[in-house]
Amino acid sequence: MKENWTMPSLKEAKQRTKKQAVIEKSLFNIPSEVKDIGYGKKYYLRTYGCQANERDGETIAGILEALHFTSCDTPEEADLILLNTCAIRQNAEDKVLGELGSLKRLRKTNPDLLFGLCGCLAQEEAVVKTILEKYPHVDLVFGTHNIHRLPHLLYQAMMSREKTIEVFSKEGEVVENLPVKRFGTHKAWVNIMYGCDKFCAYCIVPYTRGKERSRQAEDILDEIHTLIDEGFKEVTLLGQNVNSYGKDLKIEGGFAYLLEEVAKTNIPRIRFVTSHPWDFSDEMIDVIAKYENIMPFIHLPVQSGNDEILKIMGRRYNAKEYMTLFNKLKSKVKNAAFSTDIIVGFPNETHEQFLDTIKLVDECQFDNAFTFIYSPRVGTPAAAMQDNVPMEVKEERLQILMQHTNHWAKVKNEAYLGKVIKVLVDGPSKKNKNVFSGHSETNKLVNFTGENIQVGDIVDVKITNTKSWSLDGEAIKVS
Ligand code: SAH
Ligand code: SF4
Ligand code: F3S
């Protein structure tokens, strides 16, 4: 270990204090000797994982372009390769390590190539140790709390050609005024808070992202006003649990207040992820129901339908409470669609407990479900539990679960046949310029025919055919 490295520490990452996070408005800076280091150089950035990581990727790209790097589409062309990683399940980790291994060959043809790794995997003590041992070609490792330090770290790695590692494991601050390169033209991600304090027994996120800390409402609204001025039509408000928004800053009304303020900006479409069922307030439901520009689509991860498993997972609700919330949302928010996340094969899950999940899925009839086999993550309480469920059984449960979730996805889509719905246009199809794709208010993928249609238009589309994962239709008119 070099003295000037800052290695991740699981012990520190676990800590939480009552101290309020500092909002840093001028922490980011580009020293004069660094400002041109990207001239003539290309970067290849690949992001894995959730929307929070996608949004971090936009910040990283923004910083690199502020340093005059230009982006490229293949790692072969790059002078700098950055993998912005995810640690949520073992397969996410394996994918990145596999990619790191296979990209190593590029060093032979380009000895000056710089390899960097950032994102959630960089926050993991055990992973960084593995990288040091087995992937010596990695030159730069920085964590999710170190993004604003990228100009300094790149300078160090490029000029000294010394391996550079800086991963803070602190609870985290809120760093404002970072550059951003938006990857979308009409849909944008907006962070409203960072981190997570829920510590669900299986989950690594509270260790990789630090404590829950909210941005100030004014900063969020300023960002949204800028996006509106730039022609954006949709914002997705991001947080690991948006329902906790503002609790740390003691903002009265919390997420309900923020959501209402965002609705009043009149941006055509507002989405938000993720809502934890535990603290979904009635005020929030009322705001969602009241404003037409808040999309009637709710991602409400349930994880399991069994009370004992939910308790061990530390989810703080039982199946009945989940159903009560679900039904309340369904009755108050007109034509709402729902998606969820489900884990099968949590340690020692019995067949009967698994069947409770199936029962809940059949009751809720989700429009969409993200289904996972439980994956032990080093440092989480669940990873230390003995597990008597063989992998074949977990795989079988996943198959059974997916038969149910796929069935409901298809049934829910069938109900759209013949209806006219509003679609925000993402773009023309690659094969046929008169075929477009976009998303409905309820987040359904819609492929449709039409003329004189631009990306970013909101179009009325009549649905003529339905499939499990998409709808087909014809545009009626541009509204
Ligand atoms: N903050 C979000 C979830 C972020 S992670 C929330 O609480 O809803 C996205 C999903 O990954 C989780 O909802 C969970 O279903 C799944 N997940 C998280 N950790 C996992 C693990 N160790 N194994 C399998 N799935 C996991
Ligand atoms: Fe993970 Fe639970 Fe936090 Fe979601 S709420 S990020 S599942 S710990
Ligand atoms: Fe993955 Fe980190 Fe997101 S672990 S899911 S990239 S918060």
Give dist(CA 253, CA 246) in Å, integer. 8
Burial environment of residue 71 by CB neighbours within 10 A (0 to 12, 13 to 18, 19 or more) = middle
Sequence ranges of the domains in the chain: 10-166, 174-414, 420-478
Choice between 296 and 108, residue whose per-residue pLDDT is larger: 296
Report the distance separating Cα 236 and Cα 270, nearest Å: 6
pLDDT of amino acid 405: 98
- Identify which of 255, 250, 66 has the alpha carbon closest to the alpha carbon of residue 150: 66
Residue the block writes with tokens 């409203």: 192
Q: Find where tokens 């689509």 sit.
A: 297
Which residues are within 8 A (CB) of 132 and not within 5 positions of it... i.e. 6 or more apart? Answer: none
What is the value of pTM for the model shown? Answer: 0.97
Distance, CA of 42 to CA of 317 (rounded, Å): 48
Token pair belonging to 39 = 């001239």
pLDDT tens digits, one per residue of 222-246 = 999 999 999 999 999 999 999 999 9
Buried b (16+ CB within 10 A) or exposed e, 75-111: beebbbbbbbbbbbbeebbeebbebbeebeebeeeee
Whether the pLDDT of residue 478 is over 70: the answer is no
At residue 4, does pLDDT exceed 90? no
Regarding the beta carbon of 215 and ligand 1, being less than 6 Å apart is answered no
Cβ–ligand 1 contact at 272 (below 6 Å) = no
Task: Check residue 369 and give its pLDDT.
Answer: 98
Closest CA to 462 of 429, 428, 435, 422: 422
Q: Which ligand 2 atom sits nearest the alpha carbon of residue 314?
A: 2
Q: What is the pLDDT of residue 238?
A: 98
pLDDT digits (tens, 9 = 90+) for 14-60: 999 989 999 999 999 999 999 999 999 999 999 999 999 999 999 99
130/88 Cα distance (integer angstroms)? 17
Query: How does pLDDT run across 141-191, given as a tens digit for each residue?
Result: 999 999 999 999 999 999 888 899 999 998 889 999 999 999 999 999 999
Residue 45 to residue 152: CA distance in whole angstroms: 18
pLDDT tens readout for residues 52-110: 999 999 999 999 999 999 999 999 999 999 999 999 999 999 999 999 999 999 988 89
Give which of 159, 220, 157 is closest to 189, Cα–Cα. 220
**pLDDT at 477 (0 to 100):** 64
Q: What is the pLDDT of residues 428-442, one digit of tens each?
A: 987 788 899 999 999
User: What token pair was written down for 176?
Assistant: 């404002």
Handedness of CA 114, 119, 121, 126 (dihedral sign): positive
Mutate to test the pocket of ligand 2, among 240, 241, 304, 372 (most ligand atoms within 8 A of CB): 240
CATH number of 420-478: 2.40.50.140
User: Are the C-beta atoms of residues 100 and 135 closer than 8 Å to each other?
Assistant: yes
Q: Are strands 458-466 and 471-478 parallel, antiparallel or unpaired?
A: antiparallel
Give the residues across from 340 on adjacent strands.
369
Neighbour tally for 477: CB within 10 Å: 9
Dihedral angle, C-alpha 82, 95, 300, 352, nearest 10 °: -160
Place of tokens 């003691």: 250
Ligand 1 center to 435 CA (angstroms) = 35
CATH of 174-414, one of 3.40.50.150, 3.60.20.30, 3.40.718.10, 3.80.30.20: 3.80.30.20
pLDDT, residue 439, reads 98
- Do 471 and 431 form a contact (C-beta atoms < 8 A)? no
Helix (H) or strand (E) holding 191: strand 187-191
Gap between the Cα atoms of 151 and 11, Å rounded: 28
CB of 49 sitting under 6 A from ligand 3: yes
Output the DSSP codes for 214-238.
Answer: EPPHHHHHHHHHHHHHTT--EEEEE
Question: What rounded mean pLDDT belongs to the chain?
Answer: 96
Can you tell me whether residue 434 is helix, strand or coil? coil
| Distances from the Cα of 319 to the Cα of 337, 340, 353, 362, angstroms | 19, 14, 12, 13
Query: What fold, for 10-166?
Result: Rossmann fold (3.40.50)
Instruction: Find out whether the beta carbon of 343 lies less than 6 Å from any atom of ligand 1.
Output: yes
Token output for 382: 């669940």
**Nearest atom within ligand 1 for CA of residue 202:** 22
Task: Give residue 52 CA to ligand 2 midpoint distance, Å.
Answer: 13
